Amino acid sequence: MTREVGGASERDADAPSVTEPTSGELLRAIVDHIGHPVFVKDRAFRFVLVNPAFETLVGRTLASVLGRTDYDLFPREQAEFFRGVDLRVYEHAESIVIDEESMTDHGGDMHILRTVKEPVRDPRTGEITHLVGIITDVTSIKRAEQALRDTNEELERRVRERSNALEAVQTELLRKERLSVLGQLAASVAHQIRNPLAAIATASAILRRKLAATDDPDITQSITAILEEVWGANRIITELLDYARVKAPMVKRMGVEELIESALAATSPPDTVTIEREVEEALVVEVDPRQASDAIASVIRNAYEAMPSGGRLRVSAYDDGDAVLVAIEDTGPGLTRDAIKGLFEPLVTSKPLGLGLGLATARLLLENQKGSIRAATQGGGGARFEIRLPRAP
């Protein structure tokens, strides 16, 4: 506390004596107590002042920092980035905010920083002599943001997986419901339709026998057409019943070569189709022989129908881990992407005759014994069916 005495200022007798620091000492004390890293560089880009927080951040002592440049302290790529920003501060005489930049400390740890750089002018000449930088280490914040993003992505992935699983379950339930309805329909109408078909076939056979001596081609063709249509209708009923009456499998060990030969023997290959076989030796599966053979035979018949003008059928089998893969390839026109989607669905077919139950029944028979089937179009044309059967231990 001061007062004026005789035109001069004097301190109260009881006031303590205070030694005021110089401006440089005061500035240094303030900078040292700032919690954020602070540095000052001269026009030669050398560090001329840093605070303890900066020393801690870079992992270096004051003596090892002062007089050095970024190129002496940091990796070259980072130093070039820092130098580029410094040049902009000097050239444009404006402050620059870098929201995110990387810095590697002396121990090799990476930090993510937010830095503000300001030009410092000489109060007498107005010339920019230094720049001051104030750093905020946002590494922990960025890591937390990344962890939050990773968590969100993981949650989204789990939601997608759960949604896909629910959709698959719903699709399977709808498929089984359709199977149940189809089975009930097949069981209720099969005998009622087959009885009149049998009567038609018997009457047609009698007419053919009675009119065997006639020379009228129209009569002969008409009777033949009746019998063919009866055969076609009876085949549709058989497909319906086969599809609806898939029984529990009676599993036993069976050689794959024997299984394939059984399936081929159950089909009637056209004379214009060449059959090739390539089966690894000693392959044994655990399947219901009848169901597995019927399923493979159904795929083979489908391949024959895809090659009405002839072609090549290739059947191969080889070990595929815990399963045996049976591949059936034809040289027909192949399959479109839309066709593959509905290929194993019941009542979906592009053929003029039949209900599209052949491959659907094959799929049921294979899944009934823990097998599977898939189809694809080959690059050079034709279709490829891959059947997986459980390999015997």
Extract the tokens encoding 374: 């898939």
Q: Which of 209, 244, 279 is the last residue of a domain?
A: 244
Burial 126-163 (b: 16+ CB within 10 A, else e): eeeebbbbbbebbeeeeeeeeeeeeeeeeeeeeeeeee
Distance CA 316, CA 386 (A): 10
* 236 and 293 in a common domain: no
Alpha helices in 127-138 (DSSP H): none
Q: Which of 74, 106, 137 is the last residue of a domain?
A: 137
* 344 and 270 in a common domain: yes
Return the closest-CA partner of residue 133 out of 23, 24, 34, 29. 34
Which pLDDT score, from 0 to 100, does residue 10 have?
46
* 276 and 210 in a common domain: no
* 234 and 334 in a common domain: no
* 126 and 26 in a common domain: yes
What's the pTM? 0.46
Burial 337-376 (b: 16+ CB within 10 A, else e): eeeeeebbebeebeeeeebbbbbbbbbbbbebbebebebe
* 209 and 283 in a common domain: no
Q: Is residue 147 part of a domain?
A: no
Domain count, the chain: 3
Boundaries of domain holding 360: 252-390
Element (H, E) at 204: helix 139-210
Helix axes of 289-305 and 256-265: crossing angle, nearest 10 degrees? 50
CATH of the domain at 335: 3.30.565.10
* 379 and 331 in a common domain: yes
* 104 and 36 in a common domain: yes
Q: Which of 244, 260, 278 is the last residue of a domain?
A: 244
Residue 213 has φ and ψ, to the nearest 5°, of -85, -10
Q: Is residue 146 part of a domain?
A: no
* 240 and 260 in a common domain: no
Which pLDDT score, from 0 to 100, does residue 242 have?
64
CATH of the domain at 191: 1.10.287.130
Judged by DSSP in three states, 3 sits in: strand
* 109 and 210 in a common domain: no
Which parts of the chain register pLDDT below 70? 1-23, 175, 178-180, 182-187, 191, 236, 238-247, 336, 338-339, 341-357, 378-380
Which pLDDT score, from 0 to 100, does residue 373 have?
87
- Is beta strand 273-279 parallel, antiparallel or unpaired with respect to 311-320? parallel
pLDDT in tens, 139-180: 999 999 999 999 999 999 999 999 999 988 887 787 677 666
